[in-house]
Structure 1
Amino acid sequence: MTSRRTFFRQLSTAAAAPFVLPDFMTDAHRTLLQRLERAGSPQQIAQDEDFWSWIKAEYTVSPNILNLNNGGVSPQPKSVQDAHIRFYQYSNEAPTYYMWRILDQGRESLRAKLADLAGTSPDELAINRNATEGLNTIIFGLTLKPGDEVVLSRQDYPNMMNAWKQREKRDGIKLVWLDLKLPSENEDDLVRQYTSAFTSKTKIVHVTHLINWTGQIMPVRKIADAAHKRGIEVICDGAHSFAHLDYKVPELGCDYWATSLHKWLCAPFGSGMMYIRKEKIKNIWALLSNTDPDGADIRKFESLGTRSFASEMAIGTAVDFHLGIGAARKFTRLHYLKNYWAERVKDVSGVRLYTSLKPEFAGALAVVGIDGMKGPELESQLLGTYKLHTTPISLGDINGVRVTPHVYTTPKDLDRLVVAITELAGKQSLAGKQKKS
């Protein structure tokens, strides 16, 4: 594991900051730093509640509502909030000077920091606002002609499907839709579902690394390898997988990839990044105007005009916080939390679990349903009666709520969820029996 000595020390400065932020090192931080130095393997620490209580203390989440929708947008630890506020105040001292002449110069160091985390070259990463922006940039920037085929699934994210539908409408490309059979614990079958749709006209395959509807982890590398053998390029939606699963982007074998940093990295809201394999950059047209829109410099995708420099620069502090915990430890903890509650409800009468319990097929996200209840109804009951915030899911045969804990969530929190699901399933079963009689 990487040294932990830089964890909270680095929280006092953000990426490439031209000035020093206030010292955020507290006695609690120093205690956690000491614990990190003595921490064991990811498996050992996954159930060490004393350790994770220190992580929980770094968040300012409400004690009155249990947030189990971290997959949508994650809260930021206090250190990231402080860095964001400090950069914002700094910018307001003289906006055009401090934003355009000072903070703007920090992007290259931040790019290098993110590239190190992602395992890529800095010249392959563009910093933007979210996965939708990154993937839309790629989708609309590709040179495709009428009749070219794109393979994608109905379980992909709606914004991406809509982008492809727009290209179909405008440019006459052909979309080949898959209806994935999920959940699945058979990688070969998942790969086959994609490869069976490939033809000589297939130019692109679009794969979601971790499907937001069910939490399914897709075998992106195997699909990419099969696609490349046929000369097909690969786009990967990494919105839910980055800083959640333990991987480096090149390991996926994709040509194009994008993520939202305000999800699992816990960076400021409206922050993201896009990866394009170095030799492919010249093939993607810049979505917004640029002096060299078909050039080979990844920075052509960052011509966004005035942006939130404070949000962007505070990303570096979020990276430090993530590295302090450790990617392997973080994923192991998140998977443990998902299984903690899921294993306790999966055999309850009337309860349906739509997500695998195996770490190679699912991480923190899981979808649970109750027979006879629609997703929105279950979500409403969990929030109104139990103050548990989830998100409703209705897609084909999948009907329930998505439950997404984070590193600040505790097993005691999830005990409340188990009680709620068990009670609601019991009431639903009783109502069904009474109706029949």
Structure 2
Amino acid sequence: MTENRRKFLKTLGIGAAGALATPTQIWARATTPIESVLYDLQSGDTSEAYWKTIQSQFHFAEGLTYFNNGSLGACPKPIREATINFQNTLDDFPSKYMWGGWKDEIEEVRKKTADLFSVSEEEIALIHNTTEGMNLIASSMDLQPGDEIISADHEHTSALNPWKYWQESKGVKIVTPTLPILPKSVEEVVDVYSKAITPKTKVISICHLVNTNGMILPITEVTEMAHEKGILVAVDGAQAAGMLTFDLKEVGCDFYTVSAHKWLFSPKGVGIFYAKQESQKHLKPLIVARGYEDTSIRRLENYNTRNLPEVLGLGAALDYRNAIGAQKIHDRTYELKHYFRDKIKDNKKLILKTPELDTLSAGIQVLEVKDKYMLDVQMELSYNHGIECKPVTKFGLNVIRLSFAIFNSKKQIDTLVNVLNTIAG
């Protein structure tokens, strides 16, 4: 190696060893921040002290108590650092790692993502977000005038609008049944979809967990009913993936799409798209670039250039999640739900507008403060107490939406409830 070459590498801070490092070695170095905490997370401990350790790994602005994970999740510090390390590597060797240098590592992220849902890696595309996934589905469907799509009234606009844009102009009808706000049983919700189905129904577009009042929709039961009639099922899983444990093979849906920046706590800008193997024949890429002839699901994520450090950051986030344990996260979510509901049950001015059954709700709970306008309540919480949540006024709701995540503590809920009691008077 020439002296000039050595000096050049030294200015990059990597040296000859860095220049010759394999992608696997680069991965190991980039993920050092997370490797240093994974062992400590692998514990059967479920005490508040354990969850305080988790809480310490999420950094928020001073004075902020965050109950708005349903809008945008936080990324733990080790994942932030790993992603920055990947970004630095990419900028040190731009061409090498953008086109092929990280091929095996990207495939490893795909495998980890497939394991999350108990499916094959050949059924997973690594996209940008749920909105892209819903557009991918809606733009691909070869529907005819008079065909019908069922999309209930609580669907997110980013799940509904793709169907309007890509299919309504063709004469396809979007059927919008009304969901109950406080159903007493799963069967009550299934019945809404059953009554909406006609011989013209071709697709049911359904949210796993609605963003309006935190209601879980029975996607397994709806899918079984739909498939008996030859109807495809597309699921918006933005609010459920990472919060709840489930097996997509058991669910049976054709498509499931996720924004990983919510309950998977990944870097922003990376999403997950699941397509059942036998249903992939319906799909066409949203963006066409080199390699569009690829018959595998990878054709759906071929953007030529993209922010690969975010994709690798998703892999690191999944390592972090797996170290804690999917079931432990699931159980903690319900523990915080029950703790909150129990704390407010005796105050008649604090009115829950989220179904009580665990089969119908989890980590998102919405609350009305009697005789108070929710925007006023939200501003009081935010400006005077540093508590961030989301106001919801759709469907006659006048509520604040509270998202309970693994970085939230019972002590934070105590503080929240004390403030709400004061606001309620």
**Same fold flag (TM > 0.5):** yes
1:337 is matched with 336
The amino acid of 2:281's aligned partner reads: K
What runs of 5+ residues in structure 1 fail to find an aligned partner? 1-14, 427-437
The amino acid of 2:423's aligned partner reads: L
1:6-25 matched pairs, under 5 angstroms = 18-21=26-29, 23-24=32-33
Aligned-partner Cα distance in 2 for 1:132–1:399:
26
CA-to-partner distance for each residue in 1:92-122, whole Å, 9 max, x for gaps? 1121222223124422121111111111111
1:64-83 matched pairs, under 5 angstroms = 64-83=63-82
Which is further off, 272-281 or 351-360? 351-360
- SS state at 1:178 partner: coil
1:123-138 matched pairs, under 5 angstroms = 123-138=122-137
Q: Please tell me whether the aligned partners of residues 118 and 247 of structure 2 are also in contact (alpha carbons under 8 angstroms).
A: yes
The Cα of 1:299 is off from its aligned counterpart by 0.8
2:228 is matched with 229
1:268-307 matched pairs, under 5 angstroms = 268-290=267-289, 296-307=295-306
Aligned-partner Cα distance in 1 for 2:373–2:316:
40
The Cα of 1:339 is off from its aligned counterpart by 2.2
Aligned-partner Cα distance in 1 for 2:405–2:196:
36
Structure 1 residues 343, 87: CA separation in 2 closer, same or farther (over 3 Å shift)? same
The Cα of 1:26 is off from its aligned counterpart by 8.6
The Cα of 1:365 is off from its aligned counterpart by 0.4
- SS state at 1:234 partner: strand
- SS state at 2:196 partner: coil
Q: Please tell me whether the aligned partners of residues 210 and 241 of structure 1 are also in contact (alpha carbons under 8 angstroms).
A: yes
The Cα of 1:183 is off from its aligned counterpart by 2.2
- SS state at 1:376 partner: helix
1:26-105 matched pairs, under 5 angstroms = 32-33=40-41, 36-37=42-43, 39=44, 45=46, 48-105=47-104
CA-to-partner distance for each residue in 1:156-191, whole Å, 9 max, x for gaps? 011111111213442110011111012223111110
The amino acid of 2:411's aligned partner reads: K
2:156 is matched with 157
Q: Tell me if 1:411 matches 2:389.
A: no
The Cα of 1:345 is off from its aligned counterpart by 1.8
1:431 is matched with none
Aligned-partner Cα distance in 2 for 1:218–1:265:
20
Aligned-partner Cα distance in 1 for 2:161–2:86:
35
Structure 1 residues 63, 142: CA separation in 2 closer, same or farther (over 3 Å shift)? same
Structure 1 residues 294, 160: CA separation in 2 closer, same or farther (over 3 Å shift)? farther
Aligned-partner Cα distance in 1 for 2:355–2:196:
25
Q: Please tell me whether the aligned partners of residues 345 and 421 of structure 1 are also in contact (alpha carbons under 8 angstroms).
A: no
- SS state at 2:342 partner: helix
1:140 is matched with 139
Aligned-partner Cα distance in 1 for 2:329–2:217:
20
Q: Please tell me whether the aligned partners of residues 34 and 316 of structure 2 are also in contact (alpha carbons under 8 angstroms).
A: no
The Cα of 1:269 is off from its aligned counterpart by 0.7
Q: Please tell me whether the aligned partners of residues 191 and 219 of structure 1 are also in contact (alpha carbons under 8 angstroms).
A: yes
Q: Please tell me whether the aligned partners of residues 34 and 78 of structure 2 are also in contact (alpha carbons under 8 angstroms).
A: no
Structure 1 residues 285, 372: CA separation in 2 closer, same or farther (over 3 Å shift)? same
The amino acid of 1:248's aligned partner reads: D
Structure 1 residues 92, 82: CA separation in 2 closer, same or farther (over 3 Å shift)? same
1:328 is matched with 327
Aligned-partner Cα distance in 2 for 1:127–1:86:
20
Q: How many residues align?
A: 402
2:393 is matched with 394
What runs of 5+ residues in structure 2 fail to find an aligned partner? 1-22
Q: Please tell me whether the aligned partners of residues 135 and 274 of structure 1 are also in contact (alpha carbons under 8 angstroms).
A: no
Aligned-partner Cα distance in 1 for 2:239–2:254:
18
- SS state at 1:314 partner: helix
Once superposed, what is the RMSD of the aligned Cα atoms? 2.0
Q: Please tell me whether the aligned partners of residues 129 and 260 of structure 1 are also in contact (alpha carbons under 8 angstroms).
A: yes
Aligned-partner Cα distance in 2 for 1:111–1:28:
23
Aligned-partner Cα distance in 1 for 2:313–2:37:
21
1:350 is matched with 349
Aligned-partner Cα distance in 2 for 1:376–1:283:
43
Aligned-partner Cα distance in 2 for 1:26–1:113:
16
Structure 1 residues 271, 348: CA separation in 2 closer, same or farther (over 3 Å shift)? same
2:14 is matched with none
- SS state at 1:258 partner: strand
- SS state at 1:151 partner: strand
Aligned-partner Cα distance in 1 for 2:295–2:373:
49
Structure 1 residues 17, 391: CA separation in 2 closer, same or farther (over 3 Å shift)? farther
The Cα of 1:366 is off from its aligned counterpart by 0.5
The amino acid of 2:33's aligned partner reads: F
The Cα of 1:305 is off from its aligned counterpart by 2.7
CA-to-partner distance for each residue in 1:1-40, whole Å, 9 max, x for gaps? xxxxxxxxxxxxxx9665421633798765x25xx34x16
Aligned-partner Cα distance in 2 for 1:294–1:175:
32
| TM-score, structure 1 as length reference | 0.87
